[in-house]
Amino acid sequence: MKNSERNARTLHLTATLDSQLLSNAVVKSATRSLEKATSTLDGADADERAKKEAVRAASARVRDAADKAFDECRRAGAALIVKDPSFDEKLAPGEGGRKPSALLARSYRLLEDGQVLGVALPDLVAARSELSDAAGARASARSARKAGRAARKAAETAWDAAYVAARAAVDGALAGDGLTGRKLLEAAQRYFPKQVRHKRGGPAAPAAGEKPAAETKPAA
């Protein structure tokens, strides 16, 4: 079930419960618990979306920093050759390509070569630092998103349990009014329909026993 439907079901239930059912303490408590679970779920959903965007931003930052570090590695290699024409940069295993780990390893080795040859490489130092910071920030953002996803799933589970409890409370109240069997089921469907419309501006759902309104066809 999508969270938009969970939200719509909560709104439908609170909109259709009459004063007689709400006067039942168990129904009132269960409804409040469902509303609280819905609010928690909305917050968890929004938090996960925000963390997902943070991962995207962090990943873009890593790509930019990796491109810069790659260019600075090439410039550093050229500078070392100028200093010592016999210098031959041989990439060690894991140093090729544009992956952050490869570029960090390559830049570290080039900086060591620069110290040996007495060549300062400040732009490479800055690019390596920027890439390292970006990679660390992305790792943190991914961990936060993972935690956000877990929190959202937990909120969904809590909402499902609260919805079941609300259904049980309403069923109990209706049974207390003498409804049983099919009559009880039909009465409960008014509050807990099989389908709930959650399009903006549309009705929440048809009441039990009612047919959905026929769609209006555009004039030819």
**Mean pLDDT over all residues of the chain?**
89
Task: Work out the pLDDT band at 215, boundaries 50, 70, 90.
Answer: very low
Q: What is the pTM of this model?
A: 0.75
Higher-scoring residue by pLDDT: 199, 150:
150
Name the residue among 144, 147, 127 with its Cα closest to residue 62: 127
How much is the pLDDT for 198? 61
Please check the confidence at residue 179 and state whether its pLDDT lies above 90.
no
Tokens 């024409």, residue located = 85
111-138 per-position pLDDT tens digit: 999 999 999 999 999 999 999 999 999 9
Residues above pLDDT 70, as percent of the chain: 90
Per-residue pLDDT at 201 exceeds 50 = no
pLDDT of residue 46: 96
Domain ranges of the chain: 3-189
Higher pLDDT, 203 or 37: 37
User: Contact, 37 vs 158, CB < 8 A?
Assistant: yes
- Residue 191: the pLDDT is 92
Model confidence at 211, pLDDT cuts 50, 70, 90, reads: very low
pLDDT for the residue 213: 38
